[in-house]
Amino acid sequence: MTVAELATIWASVLGGGVCYGGDDLAAFESQAAGMMPGWMAHDFRLMLRAFHRFGLLPGKDSRAIFEALIGHPLRSYRAFAEEGAASW
């Protein structure tokens, strides 16, 4: 899923008001540094840059491994967002 698709799901679940802010990682780091130590904001920026470059794709056995670990089938991202929103 793209981040724009994730934002669309959250907007749907929350009734609007969510949009993807873009890929400006320098701006992200600057804003994040106001809420966490600067070294952590920088590390997050590096991590996000790697996600942008290489994606975040599961291995071929990831689903089976995760389902075995948690003891039930994985849920959809929409179901996760709905559950999270309901708990707020």
Asked if residue 77 lies in contact with residue 56, where contact means CB atoms within 8 angstroms, the answer is: no
Judge if pTM exceeds 0.75: no
- For 44-63, b/e burial (b = at least 16 CB within 10 A) is bbeebeeeeeeeeeeeeeee
Asked if residue 11 lies in contact with residue 80, where contact means CB atoms within 8 angstroms, the answer is: no
User: What digits encode the pLDDT tens for the residues 44-65?
Assistant: 999 999 988 888 888 899 999 9
CA 86 remoteness from chain centre: 18
Going by pLDDT thresholds of 50, 70 and 90, the confidence category of residue 30 is very high
